[in-house]
Amino acid sequence: MATLNIYTLSTARQLDLFLTQDGELDLDYVLQLMRGKAAPINEGGAITGEGFIQPEIRVRDNSRLIESYCTSRGSLGYYNEARMQGEALITRRTQHQFYSKTAMLITEKSDLVLTFYYTSEEGSKSNIKSLIETLGFEATIFRIDHNLMEKVQKKFAWSAVKLDKIDKGGDKTKRVSYEIDLADDQSTSQVDEDYRDFGKRSHITFELPYNSPGAPSKISVKMYSQGNRIVINENELGNSSLEDFVLYLLNALKEIKDEEV
């Protein structure tokens, strides 16, 4: 599973003479900045610090973007290490540290997408955000909120929804989760009909139409308000690359968010 977080970089509103050209992000300049903050790697191939790895400009669907990895320091906690100090055997409290990688892309429209494959990687999100902001940006999260999920539910086939903060007179229910079988197009969800107008959506699973050679015509996407997370099973994509689909999904969600209810 791949977990995504989407951000908008501040240059979309506050143009920087160095970071932008004609209102769009100057990817060549940003690439130079990223190369100047490369992650240190020792002779054995071990990553020894935070930074960017293999940043490059790519073209996908006629759009230029930067694709890169970035590294972040994490910790598995502390352990008690036995050591000799002179003639004495001592115990030293030591922190176990490691460096994880995160895939990222930056578009000319000042979009930033981070992709995590493991829980330990996702835990480094704040560090990665801080690293990217050292390039001269401020990154604002793309919110996966009730309004966006309501539009998605009306626009696409969906299979699961969770509602929180239910406020329905005479009903003590505070939250509900429900699923439907997309293969049964004759059935409807009675729970959805009873509660969809009385709660705040906090999760939705829906089918996004997709037209790419070697890929299914629809891809299942899960969105959560908690953490503003998007989850994709990359194995569903067939021969289509995850990066191509991420860019397609990014543009689709931006369009939906801007639509009138």
pLDDT tens digit string along 134-169?
998 889 999 999 999 999 999 999 999 999 988 887
13, pLDDT greater than 60 = no
State yes or no: pLDDT of 87 exceeds 70. Answer: yes
Mean pLDDT, the chain, integer = 89
- Using alpha carbons only, give the angle 154, 105, 233 rounded to the nearest 5 degrees: 50
44 falls in which pLDDT band (50, 70, 90)? confident
Q: What is the mean pLDDT of residues 224-230?
A: 96
Name which of 12-21, 82-91, 171-180 the model is least confident about. Answer: 12-21
Burial-class residue 161 by CB neighbours within 10 Å (0-12, 13-18, 19+): buried
How much is the pLDDT for 60?
92
Residue 12 — very low, low, confident or very high, per pLDDT cuts 50/70/90? very low
End-to-end alpha-carbon separation of the chain, Å?
Answer: 31
| Residue from 29, 37, 44, 117 nearest 70 by CA | 37
The label of the residue with tokens 């903060």 reads 165
pLDDT of residue 187: 63
Q: Which residue bears the tokens 């790895």?
A: 53
User: Which of 100, 78, 104, 101 has the alpha carbon at shortest distance from 91?
Assistant: 78
- Indicate if the pLDDT at residue 69 is higher than 60: yes
Q: Confidence class of residue 16 from pLDDT cuts 50, 70 and 90?
A: low
Q: Please state the rounded mean pLDDT for residues 29-38.
A: 94
Fill in the DSSP letter of residue 251.
H
For residues 251-260, average pLDDT = 89
- Six-digit token pair at 166? 């239910």
Name the pLDDT band for 260 (thresholds 50, 70, 90): low
Residue 54 confidence class, pLDDT cut points 50, 70, 90: very high
Q: What is the Cα–Cα distance from 153 to 207, expressed in whole angstroms?
A: 10
pLDDT at residue number 194: 84
What confidence score (pLDDT) does residue 186 get?
Answer: 64
Question: Given a cut of 70, is residue 95 above it in pLDDT?
Answer: yes
> Tokens 């543009």, residue?
251
What is the rounded average pLDDT of the residues 115-130?
87
Using the predicted structure, report yes or no on whether residue 172 has a pLDDT greater than 70: yes
DSSP state of 159: E
- 111-132 average pLDDT score: 89
Q: Are 223 and 229 contacting, i.e. CB atoms less than 8 angstroms apart?
A: yes
Q: Which of 179, 184, 177, 185 lies closest to 159 in space, CA to CA?
A: 179
